[in-house]
Amino acid sequence: MRTKIIATLGPSSSDPSTIFEMVKAGVSGFRINMVYGSLDEKDRVISAIRKIEDELGIPIPIIAEIKGRTLRIGEMPESHLESGEKLVFQFGVKRSDDIHVIPVPYEISTRIIKPGDRILLADGRIIVHADAVKDFEVEGTVVEGGTLRSNARIALRKKSLLNLPPITREDEKNIDFLMQRDVDVLMIPDVLDPNDLEIASSFLDSYGKKDVRILARIENADALPKLKEIAKRSDGIVFAKENIENMLVEEERPIADMFLEDLAIRMTLKNSKPILVIVPTLESLVFNSTIKRHNLVVLTNLISKSFDGIVVCSETAIGRHPVNTIKIIARVVEETERRLGFSRFEIEDDDPIYVRFNRGLLALAEMIDAKIAVYTTYGRTVLAIVRFRPKNMVYGFTDSMRTARYLSIIWGTKPIYVKQTPNFEIMEKELIRRGLVQSGEAIVFSYGWRPEIFVKQYLLVEILQEAHLSG
């Protein structure tokens, strides 16, 4: 599989045996949502992943998503809301025992909300019409129903309820916990501006963690005009298309559906950064062991777009069959890539010379049907090649385990961690030892482009002979 699968862990999937089976079924990395569960639970999950990583001998990234500026409701019983039901939103309240009273633990002025506004819950899957506004209360009617759980997201269509910083005090405590446990990737939700990433980066610098990757989750249409700069300053984009479309009015959605994904992919790959996509909830896989046709169409379309990876959320976090879900999704990925292929991208006029060099490297490799082996310190050389979506697998060698884990979320890349800085000979021996190359196969080796240190990139083409295999 070229497209990577990132599974969200939750109550259904946090035990070590389930995590192990999901990795065996095709998961490349795990997302942990810091909004849900205790730190003790997170500690056990992180330890389990690291133990499985050692056992299987493969790098497994942990992507921790903080709460950020995203507004969420408080604690309440789980319920399924139907169209026409009446609700009351109570602001400044942390908990409710009534399924029709929605606690919102923020002191938000009700002057922001007007009768007729649309209140979005659970990533916009539930829409509520604001009927009447009182002091710290809003009465509303459900327009589009769905399942509502504690800590679900809440937003207003076309309005901002509250201006929060990208990292809150609660996030600071959680990041401190994550840095002590050597988590590799931090996901910042609802990024609106490149400065949000500067704040996050400065905070990580205080821990001396300059190699912790920062992914920017894009879930608001207001961020799209700045997407190119956000991609440039981040270590990757997480695209929440469903959230963005739910923030738009109905007549804007068809246009968004036509170009949003392609726009996001091209802007991100232009900067040689990975882009993951949040998979819209596949209801059939949350409750059942098979996938329905309409969910299959959604999933197939995302895979054919050539996102680096797909992020599965409710299906594995709270779904009834997390391991079986991954097996189904992995089969869909394999069949989609085999039958439909994948989108490819080409050089643009303003691409720098090292990008052009790596496009030439790829052209050479494909002309002679060669595998590609690259040494990379941080991942940039691999990304400069993979942005063009090569037909053959790219083997990314690195002596940094954190970089190896980062490469695990990048399209069409197999990370290979080695404890010594590799040269061409070491890479060749490791490929042979792992059984990744056969006699008569061609390999294109490359390493070296570090613009901030020296402007060189080395390339070697070799046809593997029987003598190589025999040592």
Mean pLDDT of 161-177: 86
- Helix ranges (DSSP H) in 226-339: 227-233, 241-246, 253-270, 283-287, 293-304, 314-317, 322-339
Determine what percent of the chain is predicted with pLDDT higher than 90.
55
pLDDT digits (tens, 9 = 90+) for 17-31: 999 999 999 999 999
pLDDT of amino acid 454: 47
Task: State how far the Cα of 307 lies from the Cα of 276, in Å rounded to an integer.
Answer: 6
Average pLDDT, the chain: 88
Q: Which range has the worst mean pLDDT, 47-51, 98-102, 349-353? A: 349-353
Using the predicted structure, report yes or no on whether residue 57 has a pLDDT greater than 70: yes
Pick 73 or 110 by higher pLDDT: 73
Determine what percent of the chain is predicted with pLDDT higher than 70.
92
Phi, psi at 309, each rounded to 5°: -155, 160
Whether the Cβ atoms of residue 295 and residue 282 lie closer than 8 Å to each other = yes
List of residues 6+ apart from 292 with CB closer than 8 A: 283, 284
Using the predicted structure, report yes or no on whether residue 59 has a pLDDT greater than 80: yes
Task: State how far the Cα of 155 lies from the Cα of 240, in Å rounded to an integer.
Answer: 15
Using the predicted structure, report yes or no on whether residue 468 has a pLDDT greater than 70: no
Mean pLDDT of 176-187: 93
List of domains in the chain: 4-69+182-339 (3.20.20.60), 79-156 (2.40.33.10), 353-469 (3.40.1380.20)
Whether the Cβ atoms of residue 402 and residue 415 lie closer than 8 Å to each other = no
- Element containing residue 170 per DSSP (H, E): helix 169-180
Q: Which range has the worst mean pLDDT, 7-11, 34-38, 139-143? A: 34-38
DSSP 3-state of 187: strand
User: Is the dihedral angle over the CA atoms 33, 39, 45, 49 positive or is it negative?
Assistant: positive
Pick 116 or 251 by higher pLDDT: 116
pLDDT digits (tens, 9 = 90+) for 279-319: 988 888 888 888 999 899 989 989 998 999 999 999 999 99
pLDDT digits (tens, 9 = 90+) for 402-438: 999 999 999 999 999 998 887 888 888 899 999 998 8
The closest of 351, 345, 403 to 374, measured between CA atoms, is 403
CA max distance for the chain: 82
- Which 3-state string (H, E, C) describes 306-375? CCCEEEECHHHHCCCCHHHHHHHHHHHHHHHHHHCCCCCCCCCCCCCHHHHHHHHHHHHHHHCCCEEEEE
- This prediction's pTM: 0.89
Helices and strands (H, E) in the chain, number of each type: 16, 21
pLDDT of amino acid 467: 44
pLDDT of amino acid 451: 53
Tokens of 2: 């070229």
**In this structure, are strands 137-144 and 413-417 parallel, antiparallel, or unpaired?**
unpaired
